Amino acid sequence: QVQLVQSGAEVKKPGASVKVSCKASGYTFTSYGISWVRQAPGQGLEWMGWISAYNGNTNYAQKLQGRVTMTTDTSTSTAYMELRSLRSDDTAVYYCAGVRMVRGVIIHYGMDVWGQGTTVTVSS
Amino acid sequence: SYELTQPPSVSVSPGQTARITCSGDALPKQYAYWYQQKPGQAPVLVIYKDSERPSGIPERFSGSSSGTTVTLTISGVQAEDEADYYCQSADSSGTLFGGGTKLTVL
């Protein structure tokens, strides 16, 4: 079945970087784009950005421009999200989620498959 | 800046109908999506493109749109439907989530 499996929890100091992975299985990797969504403790969902697994095109949330980089490795069907210059308010659960595409075109923006989430804690 | 506005909470008794609204100026031009999130779990897509239901989602979940407001309706609410619900809209420039609504089944 279609599945996204994320890397394990991370604890980082302020100013450091974190890189979270999201390995896809059960489908053709390029038939989904990957969105990254985070959720701070007790808070709502925040969209971070999106990458097309078809051609590597990205679209980042304006708030995170310059601090976030999303990449894919089609040879391993894995997407990555790197966040730099971490602050305490980056403490959150980070999710990857799939957006369906056909030949590089988004069918709709609903995220119908999600990873299990990766907890990132930023603390000195 | 553009926002999606949801009520913080909605309460219903089992078997009743729950309606959760989401308002935003771009909604007449963009489709809305709805997610259910239970504690400690990843969100689950329950409605896409305003009113379409993914496979595996019970028929009691439905969506509708009127002007700047979209509505998630849960008919015959069950105890297992108690969760946080988020609306989402998107276009090629980005994605936005509403603040979320906590549905309590009394």
State residue B17 phi and psi, 5-degree precision: -105, 130
Q: Which two tokens stand for residue B84?
A: 């946080």
How far, in Å, CA of A68 to CA of A18, rounded? 10
Closest partner CB to B49 (pick from A108, A115, A116)? A108
Tokens 């490795």, located at residue: A73
How far, in Å, CA of A114 to CA of A99, rounded? 10
pLDDT of chain A along its 124 residues, tens only?
Answer: 999 999 999 999 999 999 999 999 999 999 999 999 999 999 999 999 999 999 999 999 999 999 999 999 999 999 999 999 999 999 999 999 999 999 889 999 999 999 999 999 999 9
Closest partner CB to B86 (pick from A45, A115, A116)? A45
Any idea how long chain B is? 106
The pLDDT of residue B53 is: 98
**Residue B91 confidence (pLDDT) above 90:** no
pLDDT in tens, B13-56: 999 999 999 999 999 999 999 999 999 999 999 999 999 999 99
Tokens 């499996």, located at residue: A5
The pLDDT of residue B1 is: 67
Give the best residue of A20, A109, A112, A116 to mutate against chain B (max B CB count within 10 A). Answer: A109
pLDDT in tens, B35-46: 999 999 999 999
- Interface contacts (A, B; CB < 8 Å): 62
The pLDDT of residue B92 is: 85
